[in-house]
Structure 1
Amino acid sequence: MHIQATSIEPLLTRILQAPDRAALRTLAMGVPRYQVQWVDAGATGDQVGWRIASISDALTRRAIELAESELGPPPMAFAWVACGSQGRCEQTAHTDQDNALILSQSPGATARDYFLQLARRVTRDLDHCGLHLCTGGVMACNTDWQQPVAVWQDYFLDWIRTPALKSVMLAQNFLDLRTIHGEPALLQSLRGRVMVEARNSTWFLSALAREALKDSPPRSPLWRLGLRCPAWWTSRATPLDLKRRGILPIVSLARLLTVAHGLPALHTRSRLEAAIEGGAISAVAGQELIQAWELITTLRVRQQARFICAGRPPDNLIDGNTLSADERKRLCHAFAQVRFMQRSSGRHYLGGLPI
């Protein structure tokens, strides 16, 4: 069954009209249940990702409005931006928050205190709504990540021109920025300069490629996926992390392709489609990656739905006993395609260095 995009509009309206934080938390607590309902109705991982990101966006906007009602109007224009899975519109019920603030000008002491208080209240409220605090500290309540446009530009240029490991990790996260609330032009002006600089930096593209090759699907997929072992993934075996070994490699490859060719798309499927249209990747290879993306993300949201129904916290692990023989075969093929594209990217961006 195709799930209509408008099916969550009533929920979004209720969130945006929530009178207080308690009402906001009550509405947010239903998100895991909604994921189960959507999966039962035949939703794909992509469809679930868009819907949950839309809910997170609404929760964020309303949390900001509630904070502003207490603190007063902001002292300057700003943009609350999200990165990571929310920025790409690829969230599930098992998620955390990654966000930042872009300010229109350098703040004085009073403005700095205002935005610090705003960010602390909003990130706390989002945490109470199930968008857990980022363990890496990539949040607007971190003063490093509440800066004027000029400082953000300096950040990006430094990351691109001196692509050390930490710099690349930060850059690839913030390359997924999307405005959730406030003035969109602040991020747009920043993105224009950054994308040109990134596209023209061979060093930075090579560093992005290395990140895209860091995690790969299992190196022996025929064995891991049970095509040679009838007792595949018994209860004593370790489940496979679908996010780390399947989803993130595709996310990173899609990001690399769009940055290298100056394409503006953010969502992973949209990035792959734009890469095909722009000639960055062949139609055949691109469609194979899109199909792999659809399969792996859908298997993940189904597994999470099973956990939610069983009263267990959802995660990104998959147990082979939950998959049919056809699903195992298709997953094996998907993993092979991801590894093929990783090898191709390595040859192109890393001068043929072995993967």
Structure 2
Amino acid sequence: MKPLESKDLFPEFPEILEARTERELRNARIAGQNKLLEMKSDTNLDTWISWVNRMHDEIGQHAAVLCEQMMVEAGFGRPPVRYAFVAFGSAGRQEATLWSDQDNGLIVGDELEEGAEIYFEKFGSCLSDILEVAGYPKCTGKVMCSEPIWRLSLTAWKQQLSEWSSDHAWEPTRLFIIASDMRHIAGSRELSESWKAYYRSCVLQQPDIIPALLRNTVRKYGLYIPLVNSIRTLALQRGITESSSIKRMEQIIFLEGGGLLLENVQHALKVALRMRMETSLHMKDGLIGSSGYMLKEQLKNKKVQYELRDTLGVVRRVHRSLQRELRFAERKGL
């Protein structure tokens, strides 16, 4: 059967909207994951990945609704001001797998009144707990709305982004890079758009951040993460703040008018995304998990071996290109 191409055929998951508790949301997630697994072999990979991420988005949106209800039931009332629930990491890039963990944050409106900070401290912890019960493990790097650094008012976020972009030490640069993948999930889209616009201004107003980004980018080894990091840096160099790696590459190629290396990077990304979805899986309590590695039997396949060699070669070439740019920038004294 020819793989389905249209993204308009997105499967529906009515169980998500019907969930009244975090446990029911978990069951809805299991039902959704199983439905997607059944459809995988008959669906174009790009389309299937988009479906996986739309399912995660729907779960995140409903988790926020459940969290508001639970806050009311606990006596805290409705949210006192606007907020935006946002994703970072692979969810922000719309590259999450069926087994991805939490990478998220909160942007709170500046109309903060006394006691509002305490409300959103409770809200962030509650939302993270709901997602954990629903099958999203808590992030080991603590990039979650339950953590103060990722749960701020819009003004405080702007100050933090300014500090990260102006301090070119490794850690603030790492945090600024993580923030670049931000994508709106639920709540006030206006807050997310204001956040994104300010992030873009930080990139444009701090051209000397590029060498710091380059230094962080060429540290990693492997396949998927080095490609994602390289594409992110190439995008930020050009003022592109799109969060999706695929869309970043499309815009980079459009701006540069093509180029063999860029087209190879674009192809390598698609191969890496496919291989990431083909790592060995296991089931635990109804939820899918993954080792993050392909099976030995898969690696013996000649086509897989060729694709790995070819894609790793692209990673090395793009890293060499970025290293040359870093040396040039350092000679210029940036």
Regarding TM over 0.5, the answer is yes
Partner-residue secondary structure (3-state), 2:184:
strand
In structure 1, what is the Cα distance between the partners aligned to 2:289 and 2:198?
41
Query: What residue in structure 1 maps to residue 180 of structure 2?
Result: 175
In structure 2, what is the Cα distance between the partners aligned to 1:256 and 1:196?
16
In structure 2, what is the Cα distance between the partners aligned to 1:94 and 1:128?
14
1:69–1:187 CA distance, 2 compared to 1 (3 A): same
Query: What residue in structure 2 maps to residue 232 of structure 1?
Result: none
Deviation of the 1:277 alpha carbon: 0.5
1:34–1:308 CA distance, 2 compared to 1 (3 A): farther
In structure 2, what is the Cα distance between the partners aligned to 1:290 and 1:142?
34
Deviates more, 1:60-69 or 1:312-321: 312-321
- Post-superposition Cα deviations, 1:129-186, rounded to whole Å, max 9, x if no partner, equal 1211011111111122221111111111111111211111111111111111111121
1:260–1:199 CA distance, 2 compared to 1 (3 A): farther
Partner-residue secondary structure (3-state), 2:105:
strand
The residue type equivalent to 1:126 in the other structure is L
Query: What residue in structure 2 maps to residue 222 of structure 1?
Result: none
- Post-superposition Cα deviations, 1:216-264, rounded to whole Å, max 9, x if no partner, equal 3xxxxxxxxxxxxxxxxxxxxxxxxxxxx11111111111122111123
Query: What residue in structure 2 maps to residue 120 of structure 1?
Result: 125
- Post-superposition Cα deviations, 1:69-100, rounded to whole Å, max 9, x if no partner, equal 23232101111111111111000022111111
On the 8 A contact 1:269/1:290 being kept in 2, the answer is: yes
Aligned match for 1:100, one of 94, 98, 105: 105
Spell out the pairing of 1:68-79 with structure 2 (5 A cutoff). Answer: 68-70=68-70, 71=72, 72-79=77-84
The residue type equivalent to 1:291 in the other structure is H
Query: What residue in structure 1 maps to residue 272 of structure 2?
Result: 296
Query: What residue in structure 2 maps to residue 256 of structure 1?
Result: 233
1:14–1:208 CA distance, 2 compared to 1 (3 A): same
In structure 1, what is the Cα distance between the partners aligned to 2:247 and 2:268?
14
State yes or no: 1:151 paired with 2:127: no
Partner-residue secondary structure (3-state), 2:27:
helix
On the 8 A contact 1:93/1:314 being kept in 2, the answer is: no
Partner-residue secondary structure (3-state), 1:80:
strand
On the 8 A contact 1:48/1:92 being kept in 2, the answer is: no
Query: What residue in structure 1 maps to residue 4 of structure 2?
Result: 2
**Number of corresponding residues:** 320
State yes or no: 1:26 paired with 2:2: no
In structure 1, what is the Cα distance between the partners aligned to 2:294 and 2:170?
29
1:41–1:9 CA distance, 2 compared to 1 (3 A): closer
Gaps of 5+ in 1: 217-244
| TM-score normalised by structure 2 residue count | 0.88
Instruction: Indicate the percent of aligned positions where both proteins have the same amino acid.
Output: 22
Query: What residue in structure 1 maps to residue 307 of structure 2?
Result: 330
In structure 1, what is the Cα distance between the partners aligned to 2:20 and 2:159?
39
The residue type equivalent to 2:313 in the other structure is A
Aligned match for 2:210, one of 205, 208, 224: 205
1:94–1:22 CA distance, 2 compared to 1 (3 A): closer
- Post-superposition Cα deviations, 1:108-141, rounded to whole Å, max 9, x if no partner, equal 4421222122222211111111211011111111
Partner-residue secondary structure (3-state), 1:317:
coil
Query: What residue in structure 2 maps to residue 165 of structure 1?
Result: 170
State yes or no: 1:246 paired with 2:248: no
In structure 1, what is the Cα distance between the partners aligned to 2:190 and 2:288?
42
Deviation of the 1:30 alpha carbon: 3.5
In structure 2, what is the Cα distance between the partners aligned to 1:175 and 1:286?
21
Query: What residue in structure 1 maps to residue 59 of structure 2?
Result: 59
Partner-residue secondary structure (3-state), 1:303:
coil
In structure 1, what is the Cα distance between the partners aligned to 2:208 and 2:99?
34
The residue type equivalent to 1:293 in the other structure is L
Deviation of the 1:7 alpha carbon: 4.3
In structure 1, what is the Cα distance between the partners aligned to 2:291 and 2:247?
25
- Post-superposition Cα deviations, 1:7-63, rounded to whole Å, max 9, x if no partner, equal 44411x43123233232110112355345334332542x444322221121111111
- The Cα RMSD (Å) is 2.3
The residue type equivalent to 2:259 in the other structure is A
Structure ranking higher on relative contact order (CA contacts 8 Å, 6+ apart): 1
On the 8 A contact 1:265/1:271 being kept in 2, the answer is: yes
Query: What residue in structure 1 maps to residue 146 of structure 2?
Result: 141
The residue type equivalent to 2:310 in the other structure is H
Deviation of the 1:267 alpha carbon: 0.8
On the 8 A contact 2:162/2:202 being kept in 1, the answer is: yes
| TM-score normalised by structure 1 residue count | 0.83
